[in-house]
Every structure is written in structure tokens, then in C-alpha cells.
Amino acid sequence: MSQEKTDLTFDAQAIEHLANDAVLEVDGVLATQGDAFNKMKNQVSQATDEKDDGLDGVEADVGEVEVAIDLDIVVEYGKEIPKIFNEAVNNIENKVEHSTGLDVVEVNINIQDIMKLEDFNRIQMRQANK
């Protein structure tokens, strides 16, 4: 019998999609993007036909058996941010570990903005109408 080596690897973007979806499921998280720099970057990307995968604010550093994830998020004004943080970390760890088998060794979350839901929705509507 021949010894064949097989590998299962994950691109960072695949993990970023999982983390993005997991964090957006948490009550009080409005977005994983949102600062003026990201909006300008998206406009430049669109103007130059660069691919916009909608994952601004999510980065994954993927190893062979483990992954570290950094997120920049916008949270809803009036919500308990430490509770949001704990739920987000747990949800990300569960989704990524269950889906990939990778050990999530680190989740870092930066609160990029705190917004009232009405204001966030108004901005989203303006962006959609452009």
C-alpha cells in the first residue's frame, strides 16, 4: 500500500466568512464594518473594480490546526457591550471549531462604533440608494 499524504486547509477568507456570520447573529452587533475609512476604501474598490467581499473588519490568521480572529464591529447603543463581547466570542468559537475542526486560540474584538439602531438603519438606507 502506498502512503498518501492528504491535507485539509482553509483559506483565511473562508474563516472570515464564518466569523462574520457568527458575530452578526449576536443581538446588539450591527455590523463588522462601518468607519469612514472602510466606507472610503469600499468606494475606491468599486471605482477600481477591486473585489469587495463585504468582510471589512474581519481578519483571520489561519495555521494548520488553529486560527486567530480579529474583528472590528459596530454595536447598538444601549446594549451591554461586555455581554455582546462574550456572546460573540462564544458564537465565533463554536461556529468555526464545529465547521472546520480548527482550534480558535484567539478572538479579538474592537468596538469601532456605537450607534442607535435608527441611525444605523438610516445610514444603511442611504448607502443602498447610492
Residue at 44: amino acid letter: V
Mean pLDDT, 10 residues at a time, over the chain (130 residues)? 82 97 97 59 51 75 96 97 98 98 98 94 86
Q: Which three cell numbers stand for residue 112?
A: 469601532
Domain boundaries, the chain: 12-128
- Give CA torsion, residues 64, 54, 32, 104, to 10 deg: -10
pLDDT computed for residue 55 by the predictor: 74
Fold annotation for 12-128: Alpha-Beta Plaits (3.30.70)
Please say whether the beta carbons of 11 and 50 come within 8 A. no
pLDDT computed for residue 107 by the predictor: 98
Strand partners, 72: 110
Q: How far is CA 49 from CA 55, 58, 66, 129, in A?
A: 16, 21, 33, 19
Measure the CA–CA gap between 13 and 15, rounded to whole angstroms.
5
pLDDT computed for residue 4 by the predictor: 83
